[in-house]
Amino acid sequence: MSLCINPGCPQPNHPDNGGSPTCVVCGSDLVLQGRYRVMRLISSDSGFGRVYEAYERNVPKLLKVLKESYNTNGKVVELFRREAQVLSQLNHPGVPQVEPEGYFLYYSSDSAQPLHCLIMEKIEGPNLKQWMVQQGNHPISERQAMLWLTQLTDVLDLVHQHNYFHRDIKPENIMLRPSGQLVLVDFGAAREMTQTYMANLGDSGITTVSSAGYTPPEQEQGQAVPQSDFYALGRTLIYLMTAKLPNDTAIYNSRTNAFTWRPLAPQISAPLADLVDDLIAPAAAQRPQSTATILERLAQVRSRQVSSLPRSIGTRSTGGTAPATWPMTVLNPHEAKTLTEPSRSFLPPWLDQRPWLLAGLTGLALAVPLGWYAMTRNASDLTPPFEAVEDLPQRSVRSLGTLSGHEADVLDMLLLKDGQTLITASADQTVRFWDLEGKRALRTLSEHTNTVKTLAMTTDQEILITTGDDRTIRFWNMADGELLVTLSNAHPVPINALEVSNNGKTLVSADSDGTVFVWNLVAPNGRIDPQHLVTTGPSHTLQADGTVNDLRFTRDDSYLISGGKSLHVWLTDALDQPITLTGHEPLTFINRLAISDDGRTLITASSDKTVRLWNLADQTHRATLTGHQSYVNDLRVEGPLLWSADADQRILVWNMDQAAYVETIAGFDTDIWRFAVQPNGHIVTIGGTDHSLRLWALEDEGEP
């Protein structure tokens, strides 16, 4: 199909537009510049414009269209044009490619006012904010920080050499290619370093661009300089190295304007931390004055890096906090590896300081085997044509309102058996209870001292279990909200996932390092009582390959599945013999797990935009469900039907028996991180940036 971008078109996605050069409804051109056919709307919330996916033959492109309401705003139009002007001058894998004629005007059939358009390379991959969510919101290592800081500095080196500076560096404006190369995007705020500009700093005519937490003081006053990019770069690195947002009180004191991020990044050496602190110096004159200086400092950090003493898996340092003292038997699906600090780079300086070239060479080396795999894999893995999803039956939702109260992102939810009581966990360090029927808050639990990431409950729904970045596991009495037990330092790093077995006897917790603890909830008296865990600790320690985002027991508790960077199936009667399942794309993460009602099928949702079905009996891959246009975050099983929700504001419904599409549920106005369906069919979602719970009703078939 083809999409009409005329804002006045009453039916821009008419099914007959697919083979027509003009819209069958309004008559506007469907083939832009004689080359590009628009396929779908990606976002209408992207700054001043709408973002579409377009194709030049079979090559995907990104089309930005300035909203027509800004046509008369000269400053906005200039910002929009500048992105095309800047990108067309740069040739680097770390910036999106734009041809010289990438900026153009589009005239629809019914308006004399043009639409300002920009066509550019479409970067396949998440931005760094999305990537952090996908991999469990745990801090990056020093090696990763060094690589990414070098890549971004290299990009800025090119930008600054062309006499521009970006002015809006932040995680959302940095994307990660499948090759591992970072890409700096959104150059609409870039400024040219002309003598006139430098002479007129502070002039009210200079547009101020601000992104809270990443913008330096001088830029807030309309006086951005090239070193302003370095401040934003440093603040971005702090977020990646601590997994803490810039306004988090754990790293920033607004009264003293002091940053105390280092204790939350014990994996970062002092020389690298010193460089980052210099990048975020309050005064631009105190920061490195050029990209060459930053690259030189990075080379000095590498020269000082030495291997530390080996640290055995399971006894990792906790950065000043006493580690767990329980006896641990580590059961690893792979041979145990000794962990060491990064050593001095083995690469020659010309390659070490140009990691994009290394990424390109690595991608080339992988191209042949990956290409062979793509040609020989099972036919059920093949992606259907794009039109397949769009042509399916589609139902819409209508809003029933929102529930507000959380002050930061909502990260997990549990709907109780009554279908009316919802429990949510948030980055604001609280757990909240809600009455969905009365649309009101019931109770707030606020004992956690950091982000609450995940929730679990005993099978009798008498005890709520919560955990997150403060590394504690807390047990609460559901009847009155009383805190029953706190397992302090339950893990040495932030905890990502909890799961209670279906027989109610076992709790499993997993963290961002891949450590999985198995806890016996049954006390010596034969009753379920978490109090004894304070002294006994976990009964088993498992080690997954990388961060774990979700855990799931099979219906009969015979298997435990862990999913994140890797996918492992653990036989509960023989935990020392895990099975690793492979199939999801490299450099992507499994976000959610589910088990079919008959217990035969494992379902995995991934940031590679697919849902996969696996036979649990023989641990083989059964089918790949493709059609999502963004990473898949949550799953719901309803008999033979499977619901999967994504960051593209849609829920796709599938028939698992046939591995086929059923319908698309659309009309949501934010990405969907988690969702639940009440007995009356109403849908509750969390996601987006306003920290609210959103309530939806499915439109009845036949309703407009």
Query: Do 359 and 297 fall into the same domain?
Result: yes
Query: Do 475 and 384 fall into the same domain?
Result: yes
Query: Do 148 and 101 fall into the same domain?
Result: no
pLDDT the model gives residue 169: 83
Domain boundary among 74, 106, 122: 122
* Assigned domain for 4 exists: no
Closest among 345, 382, 359, 372 to 587, alpha carbons compared? 359
pLDDT the model gives residue 100: 73
Closest among 147, 45, 132, 48 to 94, alpha carbons compared? 147
* CATH number, domain with residue 255: 1.10.510.10
pLDDT the model gives residue 244: 87
Exposure on the CB side of residue 293, measured as CA atoms within 13 A: 11
The overall longest dimension of the chain from CA atoms, in Å, is 81
* Assigned domain for 9 exists: no
* Assigned domain for 177 exists: yes
pLDDT the model gives residue 693: 95
Query: Do 187 and 267 fall into the same domain?
Result: yes
Which structural domain range is residue 262 located in?
128-198+210-305+346-370
* Assigned domain for 10 exists: no
pLDDT the model gives residue 387: 39
* CATH number, domain with residue 647: 2.130.10.10
632 in Cβ contact with 611 (< 8 Å):
yes
311 in Cβ contact with 330 (< 8 Å):
no
Beta strands at 660-666 and 394-403: parallel, antiparallel or unpaired: parallel
Query: Do 84 and 145 fall into the same domain?
Result: no
Crossing angle for the helix pair 270-279 and 291-304, nearest 10 degrees? 170
Query: Do 667 and 688 fall into the same domain?
Result: yes
pTM listed for this prediction:
0.58
Q: Cα–Cα distance between 139 and 142 in angstroms, integer?
A: 9
Query: Do 142 and 281 fall into the same domain?
Result: yes
607 in Cβ contact with 589 (< 8 Å):
yes
Please identify every stretch of the chain with a pLDDT value under 70, giving residue numbers as ranges.
Answer: 1, 44-47, 83, 162-166, 187-213, 215-223, 254-257, 304-392, 700-704
* Assigned domain for 337 exists: no
Query: Do 164 and 292 fall into the same domain?
Result: yes
pLDDT the model gives residue 620: 92
pLDDT the model gives residue 67: 83
Domain boundary among 106, 122, 138: 122
Q: How many domains does the chain have?
A: 3
65 in Cβ contact with 99 (< 8 Å):
no
Helix H, strand E, coil C: the string for 609-652 is CEEEEEECCCCEEEEEEECCCCCEEEEEEECCEEEEEECCCCEE
Residue 64 token pair:
């930005």
Query: Do 240 and 362 fall into the same domain?
Result: yes
pLDDT digits (tens, 9 = 90+) for 506-522: 999 999 888 999 999 99
pLDDT the model gives residue 331: 41
The three-state secondary structure class of 227 is helix
Query: Do 539 and 570 fall into the same domain?
Result: yes
Query: Do 455 and 570 fall into the same domain?
Result: yes
pLDDT digits (tens, 9 = 90+) for 98-127: 877 788 899 888 888 888 888 888 877 888
Query: Do 601 and 636 fall into the same domain?
Result: yes
pLDDT the model gives residue 255: 64
Residues 6+ apart with CB under 8 A from 316: 323, 339, 492, 493, 513
* CATH number, domain with residue 36: 3.30.200.20
CA distances from 527 to 186, 290, 524 (A): 58, 65, 7
